[in-house]
Homo-oligomer: A and B are copies of this chain.
Amino acid sequence: MAKAFGIINSSANHINIEGMQKYRPIGAFPFTGKYRVIDFPLSNMSNSDIDRILVYVRENPRSLTEHIRTAGNYNINSKRGHIQVLFAESNSASDIYNTDISVFMENLSIIERLSFPYVVIAPNYMVFTQDFDALLQQHVESGADITLLYHRTNEAKERFLLSDYLKLNRQKGVEGIERNRGTAKERDIFMDTYVMSRQLFIDLVHKAVDYSSICNLCQIVAMSCRDLDIRGVAHRGYFAALTDFKSYFDANLELLDPAVQCQLFSPQWPIYTDTSDFCPTHYFAGASAKNSIIANGCVIRGNVENSIIGRGVVIDEGVTIKNSLIQAHAHIGKGIHLEYQVIDKWAEVLHVDEIIGSPDNPGYVKREDII
């Protein structure tokens, strides 16, 4: 049993995925057809024997609360373990007050009653796998006050532009945390993942509140680089930060590569999600599907290529779908041609001939819209 409880943190308010985020937090976004983004941090924790998990939901709690309500789906003992949602309960005058620190402060008595010596904090808008138990062990053995997880990239000029990076010294000591402004090719992108003792976490929450009413966790940690022993640990494997519409779109389609699939999905590290109880997908005569990931419960009479199709989607005769994400329960009517589109849940695309986006500018059809 891990000696840590887990916190799944919400993205800060500078991150916004246009369109889709209006309806649910990023953690509740679909990913590769049947998963949701939060399934990755939750499965990482469950597989690391962390079974007491607090999930901070900044806004629109319904879909996320629904999705994660059964700890048993994540293979967590339902008596011993528990996934608990922390809401922003006090409606603040302005969204800038709506920070992770303010919610931790509101729920501090819960955190104080947890008897675990350590806490592992992971974000709800990044996709990766990581053994947190190994990370915790490394943290304890190193003697560091805080351990941060980072991912080294040489694409920092084009990607991760809304993320922070760690300024590391040669001993992997963190000397600062700064926004990646695309000024260098190589960066150690901070994965918003922290390991520290519960007591230090509580102290930092108090310190942040004393410092400023809108200070968030990342800021208070960044400010503590001089006073504390903060170290970086490198992550290996697939990593995606979903920080805007395009990064979300690209990260999904990247998974069409079997080599990438293997990086994220392995039998030794299962990713859990809720059960859908959908029947298998039914392909009729005349259907075709190539280089695509297709979830269960679909009815496919048209043609699908380089796309990801969610659960229960209906694709009529003569349809052509290329390079698109079709979310659950959407319906694409006869003969329609879609390229580079994200069709949101329950949308019905019936009364158009074609919608063609581009790799740089994929289109979006709203949830429950009929067009």
Q: Which bracket fits the contact residues of A?
A: 20 to 34
Contact A61 B87 (CB under 8 A): yes
CB-CB < 8 A to A85: which residues of B?
62, 65-66
Say yes or no for A156: interface residue by CB 8 A criterion: no
Mask, A215-250, CB within 8 Å of B = 1, is 000000000000000000000000000000000000
Would you give the shortest CB distance from A144 to chain B, in whole angstroms? Answer: 33
Known: A84-B66, A109-B346, A109-B368. A60 touches B79 (CB 8 A): no
Contact A62 B89 (CB under 8 A): yes
Known: A109-B346, A109-B368, A346-B109. A87 touches B69 (CB 8 A): no
Mask, A82-110, CB within 8 Å of B = 1, is 00111101010000000000000001010
A79 touches which of B78, B79, B277 (Cβ 8 Å):
B277
Contact A62 B79 (CB under 8 A): no
Q: Quick one: closest B residue to A90, CB to CB? A: B60
CB-CB < 8 A to A87: which residues of B?
61-62, 65
Kindly report how many copies of this chain are found in the complex they form together: 2
CB-CB < 8 A to A109: which residues of B?
346, 368
CB-CB < 8 A to A91: which residues of B?
91
CB-CB < 8 A to A59: which residues of B?
89
Excluding A60-B89, A62-B89, 13 further A-B contacts by CB distance (< 8 Å) are A59-B89, A61-B87, A61-B89, A62-B85, A62-B86, A62-B87, A62-B107, A65-B87, A69-B69, A70-B70, A70-B78, A109-B346, A109-B368
Instruction: Report, nearest first, the 5 A-B pairs whose CB atoms are least far apart.
Output: A69-B69, A60-B89, A91-B91, A62-B87, A61-B87
